[in-house]
Amino acid sequence: MNTANDLAKAEADYRKARFTIIGHGIFFVACCTLAVIARRMFKMPPALLTVVFVVALLLFGGDLLRFLSTKRRLGRLREAQTR
């Protein structure tokens, strides 16, 4: 019974982490779009997009790692339940 509860909690955590990653992805695309528009309007160097990528990795890195760890934990629990 304990593994069923663990599996249910892991699935809920995975869904929450996946929703967060999707939200971050939408925000990232919006920021890239704004950076491209601003770069063209103000004749900025192409390095502006690099800054957007680096900032996104710094801000969303923890959530990415949390998503990957919950995905890995869910896979282990599902494999253990099928045995």
Residue 74 pLDDT > 80 = yes
- Which band of pLDDT confidence, cut at 50, 70 and 90, is reported for residue 82? confident
Residue 8 pLDDT greater than 60, yes or no: yes
Would you state the pLDDT for residue 1?
56
pLDDT by residue (tens digit) across 38-50?
999 999 888 888 8
Short-list 63, 31, 77, 22, CA closest to 50? 31
| Percent of the chain residues past pLDDT 70, beyond the cut | 99
DSSP string, 21-41: HHHHHHHHHHHHHHHHHHHHH
